[in-house]
Amino acid sequence: MREINVFTEIETVINGTNDKLIVVDCYAPWCGPCRALGEMFLELTNEELDGYEIIKVNVDEADDFIMKYPVRSVPTVLYFKDGKMLDRTTGNMNKETFLEKVNSLK
């Protein structure tokens, strides 16, 4: 998991994957549910991370990205494959719910 806040770098990651699901965690450092979600992401094992990548985007620092993919509340998680947004979830979620979502989109 890595943090990227520069619009062009985020777009490069989203568009530069070959059949890999990109999960974008849109968060704010002052947001409690965002911190909880971030902790859950850190607990994922290598096996659970197979087939997708998670990147973190601080909404307070990535205005261009937030405008292009309207994020109105945090945490919001965006799911991309082959440069296209497939889905989004808003709010905190547990590990099982997250893994069900990514496995349905991979």
Give burial (CB, 10 Å; 0-12/13-18/19+) of 7: middle
- Selecting among 23, 34, 74, 78, the annotated active-site residue is 34
Q: Give the strand pairing for 84-90 and 52-58.
A: unpaired
Give burial (CB, 10 Å; 0-12/13-18/19+) of 47: exposed
Q: How far apart are CA 41 and CA 53, in angstroms?
A: 11
Active site residue 26: no
- Selecting among 5, 17, 20, 31, the annotated active-site residue is 31
Q: Which residues are catalytic?
A: 31, 34
